Amino acid sequence: MSDMSMDSAAPRRSSKSLHEVDARTRRRNAAETRFKACGIGAIAIGLFFLVVLVVAIFRSGLPAFTQTVLDVEFALTQEQYEDAESQLFKTKAYSQAFNGALKTQLDESGVTLPFDEASIERIAGKVGGTIREYFRANEDQLGQPTSFQLAASSRVDGYMTGRVTRDGFQDSRFLTLADLDLVDALEDAGIIRTQFNWNFITGADSGVDNPGGAGIGASVVGSFFMMLVVLFLSLPIGVAASIYLEEFAPRNRFTDLIEVNISNLAAVPSIVFGILGLAVFIQFMHLPQSAPVVGGLVLTLMTLPTIIISTRASLNAVPPSIRDAALGLGASRMQSVFHHVLPLAMPGILTGTIIGLAQALGETAPLLLIGMVGFVARGYPDSFIDGFVEPNSAMPAQIYTWAARADAAFYDKAWGGIIILLMFLLTMNIIAIILRRRFERRW
Amino acid sequence: MNDMRLLERDVDAKDIKIAARKVQVYYADTHAIKDVDVDIEDKTVTAFIGPSGCGKSTFLRCLNRMNDTIDICRVEGDIRIDGEDIYDAKVDPVQLRAKVGMVFQKPNPFPKSIYDNIAYGPRIHGLARSKADLDDIVEKSLRRGAIWDEVKDRLHAPGTGLSGGQQQRLCIARAVATEPEVLLMDEPCSALDPIATSQVEELIDELRQEFSVVIVTHSMQQAARVSQKTAFFHLGNLVEYGETGQIFTTPQDPRTESYITGRIG
Amino acid sequence: MSDQHIHSAYDRDLEAIQAMIMKMGGQVEAAIRDSVTALESRDEELARKVRAGDRSIDELEYLINEEVARIIALRAPTAVDLRLVLSILKICGNLERCGDFAKNIAKRSTIIMASPRVEGASATIRRMARQTELMLKDALDAYIQRDTDLATAVIERDLDVDQLYNTMFRELLTHMMEDPRHITPCMHLHFIAKNIERIGDRVTNIAEQTIYMVTGEMPEEMREKADTTATEQV
C-alpha cells in the first residue's frame, strides 16, 4: 500500500479557487472548441455539396419533364385526303395542308410573319408523316376539325426552356434566327406552348434523333421486374444462409473461410458480377439476352453478401439472453430462432435488404454487360411473365445510354432520369424506415 | 437439542435428485471444472457460491446441458438426474431442459405479452389441450411465481414493461409453467434492488416445496438466506459442500473461510 | 488463509474491540488484585478505589456491546469473524461479572477490617486470588494469541482454585466453631472465597470461548467439579 501513498514526487494539483480557470483547463477547453468547430465545418461542407448536387440535378433535370408542342387545329376534307394519297410525295401534300391551316390560325391572331415549309420542318419536324398516320388510322375524322399537338424539335424546346439563347446564335441547317422570330410569334399567338411531358414518365426509349419522344417508363418496368427477381431470390437465400451461419453452423476453418469469402464478395466490383452473369447465365445457360430475369440474377449475386452481412449483424445484435430463455424452456434451436430471434432481428434484416435492393437498383455496369442497354427498352412487356424475359433496360442503364448520346436534349433526359431514380430510392428508404418502426420492439 | 435444530432447519435426509460424479469441463484447453462430486437433494435449495470464474455457473449449466450450445465446451464425467445419465447419447437436451428449468441472471422476458411469455413453454411442449387449459396453466404459474396479483389485470401487456423484479418473477413463473422438476437459477437477483431481491428470495423458499432448486449467487448473504445446502467452488474445484449454517459458521476448509469472511485468499 | 480482510476498516474494527476487551481484562485483573490486597493490608482507601473502579469496567462493557452490535449490523460477520464477535460478547459479559465479584470482595473487606483478624485465612485467600488472577491473565493471553493449549491449561487450573476453596471452606468452618466472635468475619471471608472461586469459573468460560472461537466447537465438559462443598457432608 505504501507505493500508493500521497507523498509521491508527482506534481500536486494546486488548490486554487474554482472561480479561476487555470491554463491547463483553458487549453483543454480550447482544444474541445476547435474540435467541435472542425466537426461542424465537416458537416457544413457535406451539406453544401448535397445542396449543390440537388440544385444541379433539378436545374438540369426539370426540363426533361416539360415539352414544347405546336397546338394546331386542322380539318382535312375527303378530297384533300384522296388528293394527297394520290400524289408521289404524300407527306409533302399533308405538310402543305398543315401549313395552310397554320397560316390561317396565325392570320386570325394578327401575326403577319412570312414562313416557309423549311422553317416549319426545322421547328416541328416532318409534320406531314404524323398527320398522314393519324388520318389513315382514323378515316372517320376526315372533314372534322381535329386538334393536333405536335412536338417541337429539341432546339426549339431548348429555346423555350432557356438552354438555347439568341446571344451568339448562329444560323445552322437545324435552326435560324428567323425561325426563332417565328417561334416567338407562334408563342404570342398561343400556338406554341410548353406542357408537362407525361410521355417522359410513361414512354419508352426513342431513337437517337428523337429526344423529345424519349421516356423512362419502359425501363422503370424493367427495373421493377429485376427488383422482383432480386427480392424473391436474395431475401430468402440471404436470410436462410445467415441464420444457418449465425445460429447453427459450427465454428471451424470451413465456416471461417465462408465468412471471409462473403465479406470479400461484398467488395467485388459490380462489373465482375456482370461478366460472370454474361458467361454463366447467357453464354452457358442460354437465358435470353437483355432480359430482366438475367439482370435480376446478376444483381441477386451482388446483393446477397450485403443482405447476409446485415442479417448476420442483426441476428448477432439480438441479446443472447433471449436465446437462453427459449433454450432454457426446452425450445429447440430452430424454435428459438424462428419464434424469438428472427422477429427481433426483422427490422435489421429488412433495412439491410432494402439497402441491398437500393444498391441493386442503382447498379449500371453489370447490366450493360448482359445487354440491358437503354435502346432495347422500346416498349412495355406484353404480359407479366414477358416482363421477366422480354428484352428491356433498367433505369440506370437507360440514363447511361441517354447521357452517352450526341443530341444535347438527351442530356436533359439523363438528368430527368436521375430525378426519377432518386425518387424511387427515396421511396424505398422511406419504406425501410416505416418497416423498421413497425417491427421494432423493445427488449 | 440436535433434533430440534434439524427440525427447524428442515434438512433431514432427502432423496438425491441430482448426482454428479467426477465432472470435468473443458473450454478448449482450459480445465474449467475439476473432478466435481456433488449430490443435490430433492425439495431443497442448494446454493453455489465462489469467486468470479470459479466455475459455479459453468457447472450449473452442465445440469441442463446449456453448455451444449457452446462449441468449444466439453463435459466429462457422470451427471445423473433420478439415476438417469443426462449426457447419455439417447438423451435429447431439449427434453432434458423441459425437466430442468432455468432462470437467468438478467431478467429476459420475451418481447411479447405476459400471457404469451408464460404460455410459450406449455405450447411448445403441448401441455395444454385447450385454450381454457392454457389459461389455467398461465394463472397457476403466475400464482406460483408470486406475481399473479400484480399482473392479472394486464395479462396482454408486454412483459418487458414490468419492473426488474417483476420481470424476474415473470421469468421464474415462465420456467415453472413447463412443470420442471429441477429449477436452476443463475444469479437471479444480481440485477434487482433489495426489495425485489427479497421478494424473489421469498419465492425461492416457497418453490422449495415442489422443486429442487439450485441457485448460483455472488451474494453470500443471499446464499445464507435462501439455501439449505451450500457448495463453495474455487478455481474449478468444489472445495466444500455442506449444510448452509455449518458453512457460514464453521467452514472446514480455509479457502471457504477466507472467501466467506471476505479475506484476501 | 490470509489474516487481512479486503476491507481494511473491518480489520480495524475487529482489532478495536479486541483492544477494548484487553483493556477491560487488565482493569478486572487489577481490581481482583487490589481488592485482595486491600483486604490483606486493611487498606480502606484501596478498597474504595476498587469499588469506584467498577464503574469504569461497566462502561467498557457497555462500549464493547455497542461496538459488537455495530459490527454485526454493518459487517455481517461470518465464520471465524462471527465466532470472534460472539466470543467477545461473551467474554465481555464474563469479565464484567468478574469485575462485580472484585467489587463485592472490596465491599466485604471494609466490613472485615472492622472485625478481629482471622489467623491463616488471608494467606489462603491470597493464594486463591493470585491463582485466579494468573488464570485470567493466561486466559486473555490465550485469547489474544489464539492459543487453545494455553486455554485448555487454564480450564484445568480451575481445579486448583476449587480445591483451595474447599480447603478454605473447612478452615473457616473450624474458625467459626472455635470462636463464635469469628462468625461474622468468617462468613464474609467465605463469601470472598466463594467470589474468587466464581471468578475462576468465569475465567474458565473465557478460556472456553477462546477454544470456540478458534475451533468452532465448544470444549466438552472435561473437568469434574472440584468444588465438593455443595455435594459432600463435611
% of chain A exceeding 90 in pLDDT:
23
Q: What is the pLDDT of residue A2?
A: 43
- The CA distance from B245 to the nearest CA of chain C, in Å, is 10
**Nearest residue of B to residue A325, measured between CA atoms:** B108
Q: Are A173 and A257 in the same domain?
A: no
Cβ of residue A317 closer than 8 Å to a chain B Cβ: no
Cell of B182: 429441477
* Enclosing H/E stretch for A72: strand A66-75
Q: Is the distance from CB of C158 to CB of C197 less than 8 angstroms?
A: no
At B101-118, the pLDDT tens digits run 999 888 889 988 999 999
Q: What is the pLDDT of residue A288?
A: 87
Q: What is the pLDDT of residue C217?
A: 85
Residue A39 lies in a domain: no
Q: Are A93 and A223 in the same domain?
A: no
Q: What is the mean pLDDT of residues B53-72?
A: 86
Burial class of residue B170 in the structure, from the number of CB atoms within 10 Å of its CB (0-12 exposed, 13-18 middle, 19+ buried): buried
Torsion of CA A167, A171, A177, A180, to 10 degrees: -90
Interchain proximity B220–C78, CB inside 8 Å: yes
SS3 per residue for A183-195: HHHHHHCCCEEEE
Q: Is the distance from CB of B21 to CB of B40 less than 8 angstroms?
A: no
Banded pLDDT at A41 (limits 50, 70, 90): very high
Q: Is the distance from CB of C101 to CB of C153 less than 8 angstroms?
A: no
Residues of B in contact with C76 (CB under 8 A): 221
Cβ of residue B122 closer than 8 Å to a chain A Cβ: no
Q: How many domains does chain A have?
A: 2
**Nearest residue of C to residue B248, measured between CA atoms:** C79
Residue A224 lies in a domain: yes
Q: Which of residues 130-189 of B touch A (CB under 8 A)?
A: 158, 160, 171, 174-175, 178
Q: Is the distance from CB of A320 to CB of A275 less than 8 angstroms?
A: no
Q: Are A149 and A254 in the same domain?
A: no
Q: Are A226 and A129 in the same domain?
A: no
Domain ranges of chain B: 14-108+181-260
Kindly tell me if the per-residue pLDDT of C95 is higher than 90.
yes
Q: What is the mean pLDDT of residues A82-89?
A: 78
Residue A410 lies in a domain: yes
Contacts of A108 (CB under 8 A, 6+ apart): none
Q: Are A125 and A227 in the same domain?
A: no
Burial class of residue A95 in the structure, from the number of CB atoms within 10 Å of its CB (0-12 exposed, 13-18 middle, 19+ buried): buried
Banded pLDDT at A10 (limits 50, 70, 90): low
At A54-78, the pLDDT tens digits run 999 888 888 888 888 877 777 777 7
CA distance B88 to C108: 82
State whether the Cα torsion A247-A251-A256-A258 is positive or negative: negative
Interchain proximity B261–C81, CB inside 8 Å: yes
Asked casually if ipTM beats, i.e. exceeds, 0.85, the reply is no
CA distance C166 to A283: 123
Cβ of residue B111 closer than 8 Å to a chain A Cβ: yes
What three-state secondary structure class fits A73? Answer: strand
Cell of B239: 472445495
Q: Is the distance from CB of C118 to CB of C181 less than 8 angstroms?
A: no
Interchain proximity B249–C10, CB inside 8 Å: no
CA distance A209 to A174: 12
Q: Are A173 and A318 in the same domain?
A: no
E-state strands within B28-151: 30-41, 45-49, 73-81, 84-85, 100-103
Only one residue has cell 440544385, namely A55
Residue C191 lies in a domain: yes
Touching A: which chains, 3+ CB pairs < 8 A?
B
In order of A139, B117, B153, B177, the CA distances from B136 in angstroms are: 82, 14, 15, 10
Q: For position A318, which CATH number holds?
A: 1.10.3720.10
Cβ of residue A88 closer than 8 Å to a chain B Cβ: no
- The CA distance from C76 to the nearest CA of chain B, in Å, is 8
Cβ of residue B248 closer than 8 Å to a chain C Cβ: yes
Q: Is the distance from CB of A271 to CB of A365 less than 8 angstroms?
A: yes
CA distance A82 to C16: 129
At B120-162, the pLDDT tens digits run 999 988 888 889 999 999 999 998 888 898 898 999 998 888 9
Interchain proximity B95–A330, CB inside 8 Å: yes
What three-state secondary structure class fits B92? Answer: coil
Residue A28 lies in a domain: no
Domain holding C13, by residue range, is 8-215
A142-146, A308-312, B3-7, C226-230: least confident range: B3-7
Residue C85 lies in a domain: yes
Within 13 A of C142's CA, how many CA atoms are on the CB side?
28
Residue A245 lies in a domain: yes
% of chain B exceeding 70 in pLDDT:
94
CA distance A118 to B222: 102
Interchain proximity B263–C6, CB inside 8 Å: yes
- Tell which residue, A414, A311, A297, A410, has the closest CA to residue A354: A311
CA distance C57 to B190: 46
Q: How many domains does chain C have?
A: 1
Q: Which residues pair with B243 in a beta bridge?
A: B229
CA distance B203 to B225: 12
Q: Which of residues 179-238 of B touch A (CB under 8 A)?
A: none
Domain holding A331, by residue range, is 217-439
Residues of A in contact with B124 (CB under 8 A): 329-331, 335
pLDDT mean across residues, chain A:
83
Mutation site, B248, B258, B261, interface C, largest C CB count within 10 A: B261
Q: What is the pLDDT of residue A443?
A: 44
What three-state secondary structure class fits A241? Answer: helix
At A376-391, the pLDDT tens digits run 877 788 888 888 888 8
Mutation site, B65, B92, B120, interface A, largest A CB count within 10 A: B120
Q: What is the pLDDT of residue B7?
A: 44
CA distance A439 to A353: 14
Cβ of residue C120 closer than 8 Å to a chain B Cβ: no
Q: Is the distance from CB of A325 to CB of B171 less than 8 angstroms?
A: yes
Residues of B in contact with A251 (CB under 8 A): 71
Interchain proximity B111–A442, CB inside 8 Å: yes
A46-55, A152-161, A340-349: least confident range: A152-161
Q: Are A167 and A274 in the same domain?
A: no
- The CA distance from A352 to the nearest CA of chain B, in Å, is 22
Q: For position C36, which CATH number holds?
A: 1.20.58.220
More confident residue, A114 or C93: C93
Q: Is the distance from CB of B50 to CB of B233 less than 8 angstroms?
A: yes
pLDDT mean across residues, chain B:
87
Q: What is the pLDDT of residue C224?
A: 56
Interchain proximity B125–A325, CB inside 8 Å: no
Q: Are A283 and A178 in the same domain?
A: no
Residues of C in contact with B255 (CB under 8 A): 1
Q: What is the pLDDT of residue C233?
A: 62
Cβ of residue A332 closer than 8 Å to a chain B Cβ: yes
Residue A76 lies in a domain: yes
User: A288 — alpha (psi -120 to 50), left (phi > 0) or beta?
Assistant: beta
What three-state secondary structure class fits B17? Answer: strand
Q: What is the mean pLDDT of residues A275-302?
A: 90
Q: What is the pLDDT of residue B1?
A: 42
Residue B49 phi/psi, 5-degree rounding, is: -120, 165
Residue C197 lies in a domain: yes
Touching B: which chains, 3+ CB pairs < 8 A?
A, C
Cβ of residue B255 closer than 8 Å to a chain C Cβ: yes
Residues of A in contact with B264 (CB under 8 A): none
Q: What is the pLDDT of residue A11?
A: 60
More confident residue, A230 or A82: A230
Contacts of B193 (CB under 8 A, 6+ apart): B164, B165
Q: What is the pLDDT of residue A14?
A: 64
Of A323, A328, A339, the CB nearest to B97: A328
Cβ of residue C233 closer than 8 Å to a chain B Cβ: no
At B175-208, the pLDDT tens digits run 989 888 999 999 888 888 888 888 889 889 888 8
Taking each helix axis from N to C end, the angle separating A154-161 and A177-188, rounded to the nearest 10 degrees, works out to 70
Q: What is the pLDDT of residue A4?
A: 46
Q: What is the pLDDT of residue A206?
A: 78
% of chain B exceeding 90 in pLDDT:
29
Q: Are A167 and A233 in the same domain?
A: no
% of chain A exceeding 70 in pLDDT:
95
State whether the Cα torsion C170-C175-C178-C179 is positive or negative: negative
Q: What is the pLDDT of residue A244?
A: 92
**Nearest residue of B to residue C4, measured between CA atoms:** B263
At C116-146, the pLDDT tens digits run 777 777 788 888 999 999 999 999 999 999 9
Cβ of residue B219 closer than 8 Å to a chain C Cβ: no
> What's the CATH fold of domain B14-108+181-260?
Rossmann fold (3.40.50)
Q: What is the pLDDT of residue A35?
A: 97
